[in-house]
Each structure stands twice: as C-alpha cells, then as structure tokens.
Amino acid sequence: MRAAVFLLLLGNLALLGMLYRDLQAPQAPHQPPESDSLRAISHGAGLVGDCLVSEAFSREVEARLATFRLDIPHTFVVRYQEVSDGWRVHLPSTDSLESARRELRRLQEAGIDGPALATGGDPSNMVSIAVHADQADAESVSRRVQALGFDAQVSPRRSREPGYHLVLQAEEAPEHLSRYGWTAEACSDALP
C-alpha cells in the first residue's frame, strides 16, 4: 500500500514538473493586434488603456497554471458564454402552472414516457418531453407526439458555460507571450 501511494505521489510530482517546464519554455515573439477601437479608460483593477485578453480556458485550473508563466501584472476573469447543448422537444409554455400540469397528465395518459414540468427559468410552465443531441432525433420525437394531437415543438437547448481568461496591460506584454491566442480590447471592456 505504501509503495502505491509513493508511486502515485511520484507520478503527480513528475506531471507537475512537466507542466511547469512547458509553461517556462520560450515562445515565438507576439505582436499584439492593432485596433482603432481601443480607448484609454481607467479601471479599478489598475489596468488602463489597451489590454490583451487570452482565449478562453475551459477549466479554471488551466488558466491558473498559465498565470505562473506571467511575471507581469495581470487579472483573472471569468466570462460566461452561451453554448448549444442539444435539442429540446417540448410543449409551448402555458399561462399557469395548473394548465401545464394538465398537459403533463395528458401526455402521460397518451403513453409518452418521461415528460417533465419546467416551472422555473425562461420559459416557465413548460412541459419538456425529451432532450436529444441530434436534431433529427428530436424532430422524430416531435412528429410522434404531434401525431397524438399535441403541439410539440423542437428548440435548441442552450446553457451558459464559463470561459476563464487572463487579462494584462498590452504595453507590458513580454515577447514570449504568443501562446494562449491573445486579442486586444479596451481594458474597460475586458474587465467586469
């Protein structure tokens, strides 16, 4: 047991060493993109004027690891973006919770498996029938439910996911900063 724990610890240290070495590797020089739309505006975080914003990291830990590479002042920012998350088959939203419950009971009595009542969010008082990754599958379910006399609809299912970014003062950017797909923005737009 001790040997297994020791090997696991040794493996983790080796992985951390490789990540640190990769972050310290020299990169090709980077020229920040030119933009006339950038403007100098003071911001409470101390960054003013032109900023560089990294491409989104999908996980916070990746962005945190990237900060080890930066030896200049920078800020860590989380921006949410809307992403497509499949296709929802549903009945139209109703005016009241009770009418949505009636539609739910009718679907269950018609033998439709798995409908659920969505009472919060936008839209509210909606009966959700199914969620599919593929639009064709969702359309097929919708046609089956419509054949039973229901007004089934298909709409994209959206969710908000975080993107983790690094923001730094453009004129202080070191030459080895070509990594992470930087774009220029006004610091006032880049920071919350």
Domain of residue 119 covers 83-160
The tokens for 61 are: 């830990």
With CA atoms as reference, report the closest residue to 100 among 77, 64, 128: 128
Residue 53 maps to a domain: no
With CA atoms as reference, report the closest residue to 177 among 187, 185, 167: 167
> In the predicted model, what is the mean pLDDT of residues 132-152?
93
Residue 110 maps to a domain: yes
Q: What pLDDT is stored for residue 148 in this prediction? A: 93
Q: What pLDDT is stored for residue 163 in this prediction? A: 83
Residue 186 maps to a domain: no
Confidence of residue 180 (pLDDT cuts 50, 70, 90): low
The tokens for 65 are: 């690891």
Residue 118 maps to a domain: yes
Residue 128 maps to a domain: yes
Q: pLDDT for 32-90, tens place per residue?
A: 333 322 222 223 345 556 778 888 888 888 877 777 766 666 777 887 877 788 999 99
Q: What pLDDT is stored for residue 87 in this prediction? A: 92
What is the domain count for the chain? 1
* Alpha-carbon span 148 to 54, nearest angstrom: 51
Residue 147 maps to a domain: yes
Strand order in the sheet with 126-132: 116-118, 126-132, 74-90, 153-169, 50-53, 183-186
**CATH number for the domain harbouring residue 91:** 3.30.70
With CA atoms as reference, report the closest residue to 138 among 88, 93, 85: 88
Residue 156 maps to a domain: yes
With CA atoms as reference, report the closest residue to 78 among 168, 192, 186, 170: 192
146 φ, ψ to 5°? -65, -35
* Helix spans in the chain (H): 2-24, 60-67, 97-109, 135-147, 187-190
Confidence of residue 141 (pLDDT cuts 50, 70, 90): very high
Residue 111 maps to a domain: yes
